Amino acid sequence: MRYDAVVFDLDGTLVDSAPDMARAINGVLATRGRRALSLAEVISFIGSGARILVQRSLRATGGIEGEDDALAEFLRRYETGVDHETAVYTGVMEMLGALRAAGLPMALCTNKPEAPARDLSARLGLGGFFPVIVGGDTLPVLKPDPAPLHHAITGLSADPARTLYVGDSETDYKTARAAQVDFAFVEGGYQSRPIPDFAPTHRLARPALVGDLVLSGVVTR
């Protein structure tokens, strides 16, 4: 096998979590007399961590004053319902099971804060696959800084040169490039705009195909 370890992004890669994030941020906006955001708008704001999601949402609806209070409220609202509408993408559980059966260590590296990332993973049955979970507040920096991905790889005692990072966004792509780690881009996630100078190591039509790529090197779309 080309890879000895696999690190995954979470939102838009393994799970569709945008509806619950939209519910939480629209609750924050409602308490401030702001308009609700569409799901498409919220998706376009996801990927750079909770604070940036809140900043973008406030800016789109009238201004970012009260950002710290809005962030705290967003996290409270989100953490009370991380799995109300969030769902694991089709085939992901089977794919993770196949990788685990083959003995490949796996980790999560997400810009979602670590506590809700762990909670959501546990509620959806994903937690047992990931002995290492690196969130957006695990370190002082977030993706696309390479430090979170390097931290996840170190936690697995893996070799970066034989590790695959799997994600759905420009942030994930830039993280992998900065970390000098091979990158598999999963289509159909939360990346809504073309990525400049995009040249991922692999492109996959859906996350379930990661298993085929890693275990056999043959991907059927």
The residues that are catalytic are 9
Q: What CA–CA distance (Å, rounded) separates 190 from 12?
A: 5
Burial 93-106 (b: 16+ CB within 10 A, else e): bebbebbeeeebbb
The answer on whether 9 is annotated among ligand-binding residues is yes
CA 111, 189, 97, 164 dihedral sign is: negative
Question: Are 93 and 36 a contacting pair, CB within 8 Å?
Answer: no
Segment (H or E) for 107? strand 106-109
Burial category of 215 from C-beta neighbours within 10 Å (exposed 0-12, middle 13-18, buried 19 and up): middle
**Any bridge partners for residue 165, and if so which?**
7, 183
The answer on whether 168 is annotated among ligand-binding residues is yes
| Distance of alpha carbon 179 from the chain centroid | 17
Other residues' Cβ atoms within 10 Å of the Cβ of residue 125: 11
The answer on whether 159 is annotated among ligand-binding residues is no
Q: What CA–CA distance (Å, rounded) separates 72 from 62?
A: 19
> Torsions phi, psi of 117, nearest 5?
-65, -45
Binding positions: 9, 11, 168
Residues annotated within the binding site for Mg(2+) are: 9, 11, 168
